[in-house]
Amino acid sequence: MFIRVCIIGICLALTPSIRAQDTALMLAEGFMEVGNYHEAITEYKRFICFNPNDERIGDAYLQIGTVYRNQAKWEDAVNSLSRSINLTSNDSLRDERRINIGIVFIAKQDYSAAEFALLRVFNFSRYPSARRRAAFFLSVCYLYTFKWEEARRAFGKYSENYDIPFNPGKGVDSLFLAAQNLKYKSPKMAKTLSTFLPGSGQIYVGDWRNGINALTINTVAGYLFIDALIEKRFVDIFLNYFSLFDRYYRDNRYHTYTLAQNYNQSLNRRCAKRILDSLYENSR
């Protein structure tokens, strides 16, 4: 790698006809090719600094933004890509770079910002290829937020002009339809069941082991509480209530509500992964 960059530098030194500003660009491109991204960014920034009116500044910012994206420096990537958009008058390039910003926001998990950037291209671009690409990443964005119907419509827009299976009951569409009919567990129902019969909420969610355990502990704690109450053992009543029954009863109700939420999230994530895997296979 180092030798390659040195050769580029020697060639530049021996070629006096090359303009000074081209030297920085060629060095930057050489560093990019060998994976020396820190030096590449330095050279791109050097080019921008000394050539503020050059029409290629937008491309330099695009390359910088791409490097920052690959390094997971999201804010720097968005700022550089935004500058590259402002510095080009080519509408097609603007749309492609807005899509790149949307991809950065998806990677950053800022899905509302990603949706805004991608919808702008999808709704207003004059170029069918840009609209289709925006539709694909919109579908990905909606999948990460478990908006199944929106994801299905967006992928439909992407696939309608491609040879991609998208008929009801086939391929990707069957996965979208399955996602729209997922059987969720109600957190409120789980909490209500645990209120009247501790442990039944966990069993409803499918956690039989902890459900039976909670039912047993709360039954024993309740029995001890009632037995102490009948025998008027007030110290035991106090100890049993605050050390056993109240603690396990309250924790059980709270845990059951959270357990149902986690169950639904896990169901969503598994379904989204299946669809994303299928989208990847279709895009190859």
Cβ atoms of residues 275 and 225 within 8 Å: no
Other CB atoms within 10 A of residue 25 CB? 21
Q: Token pair for residue 127?
A: 């170029």
> For 103-138, what is each residue's pLDDT tens digit?
999 999 999 999 999 999 999 999 999 999 999 999
* Nearest Cα residue to 31 out of 54, 1, 53, 52: 1
> For 217-275, what is each residue's pLDDT tens digit?
666 666 666 666 676 666 555 555 555 555 566 677 778 888 899 999 999 999 999 98
To the nearest whole number, what is the mean pLDDT of the chain? 81
> For 129-176, what is each residue's pLDDT tens digit?
999 999 999 999 999 999 999 999 998 888 875 544 444 435 678 888
DSSP assignment, residue 37? H
Q: What is the pTM of this model?
A: 0.74
Q: Compute the 3-state secondary structure of the chain and give helix, strand, coil in percent, each to the nearest 5.
A: 80, 0, 20
Confidence (pLDDT) at 5: 44
Cβ atoms of residues 25 and 56 within 8 Å: yes
